[in-house]
A = this chain, B = another copy of it.
Amino acid sequence: MTRNKVKLTYIADDSKRKATYKKRKNGLVKKTNEISILCGIEACAIIYGPNETQPEVWPSHPEVQRVINKFKTMPEHEQNKYMLNQESFLTKSIMKTRDQLKKLRNENKKIEMELFMFQCLSTGSTNNMVDSNDLLCVINQTLKEIEWKKSRVQPQQGTVEASNGAKPLNEENTFVDAHNHIQGMMQTNMGPMQMQDWSFDSANGGGNVMLPFRDYNISNGFWHGPSFH
């Protein structure tokens, strides 16, 4: 878990495993102690060390006995009812990981879509090959985010000018906002892009469409440049 990220697999090397065992046993006992104090509950841990005949228990022996007995005297169905068993634990883990993956995929897709949206806006091209529902969704999402941004700055509108000289957000600036938004998105993936890297495209719709020019170009409505996958 540190220096290197560690894989959750049996540690084959004897001395490494032993060292890890010692460290983690201490950590586990510490955590058990903490939860029982912080939350005012009873908890016990039983750990069989590498030498099979040597269990380590926490807290004291009588406490463990008491907790164990409390558990054992409970009817079986009661025991199972509230049991957090290994299976459900693993199921939860898998679900969580899958959700995270899903989220990452969505983020990737969003980035791709925003890029594509930008391409369409830039070139006016309509011969696209993506699901137009997806694209619409992204455009709406982007607009929604712009609206949200605007709502955060609205109070200052028309009264105070930002000290950095930025224009207040309003309807007229929507496209510039979109541009900035997309630019922000792209910064994450290809390093910061400066304002001077962009220019108004006078060939497409009369000056209100901006094109980036750097290590890439757009032709036939598609992106030719750094990959974003």
Which A residues are closer than 8 A to B by beta carbons?
6, 8-11, 17, 20-21, 24-25, 27-29, 31-35, 37-50, 53-61, 63-64, 67-68, 70-72, 74, 78-87, 89
Q: Can you list 9 A-B pairs with a CB-CB distance of less than 8 A?
A: A6-B38, A11-B40, A29-B89, A41-B49, A46-B71, A60-B83, A60-B86, A61-B79, A68-B71
Whether the Cβ atoms of B45 and A44 lie closer than 8 Å is yes
Min Cβ gap A69→B in Å is: 10
Counting from the closest, the 6 A-B pairs by CB-CB distance are A59-B86, A60-B85, A54-B82, A42-B48, A21-B39, A43-B47
CB nearest to A76 among chain B residues: B61
Considering the chains assembled together, what is the distance between the CA atoms of A58 and B84 in angstroms? 6
A35 to chain B, nearest CB (A): 5
* Residues on B with beta carbons closer than 8 Å to the beta carbon of A20: 38-39
Known: A59-B86, A79-B55, A84-B57. A48 touches B31 (CB 8 A): no
A46-B67, A55-B74, A61-B83 known, 11 other contacts, Cβ within 8 Å: A8-B34, A9-B38, A24-B39, A39-B50, A43-B45, A48-B70, A49-B82, A59-B86, A59-B89, A61-B85, A68-B72
The reply to whether B59 and A29 form a contact with Cβ atoms under 8 Å apart is no
Number of this chain's copies in the assembly equals: 2
Closest to A42 in B: B48
Do the beta carbons of B40 and A10 come within 8 Å of each other?
Answer: yes
Cβ–Cβ contact B10 & A37, under 8 A: yes
Instruction: Find chain B residues with CB under 8 A from A61 CB.
Output: 79-80, 83, 85
A133 to chain B, nearest CB (A): 38
What residue of chain B has the Cβ atom nearest to residue A63's Cβ?
B86
Q: How far is the CB of A17 from chain B (nearest CB, A)?
A: 5
Contact A35 B25 (CB under 8 A): yes
Q: How far, in angstroms, from A80 to B62 measured CA to CA in the complex? A: 10
Closest chain-B Cβ to A75's Cβ sits at a distance in Å of 11
Q: A43-B46, A70-B55, A84-B58 are in contact. Are A9 and B24 (CB under 8 A)?
A: no
**Complex Cα gap A27–B40 (Å):** 17
What is the bound-complex CA distance between A222 and B138, given in angstroms?
71
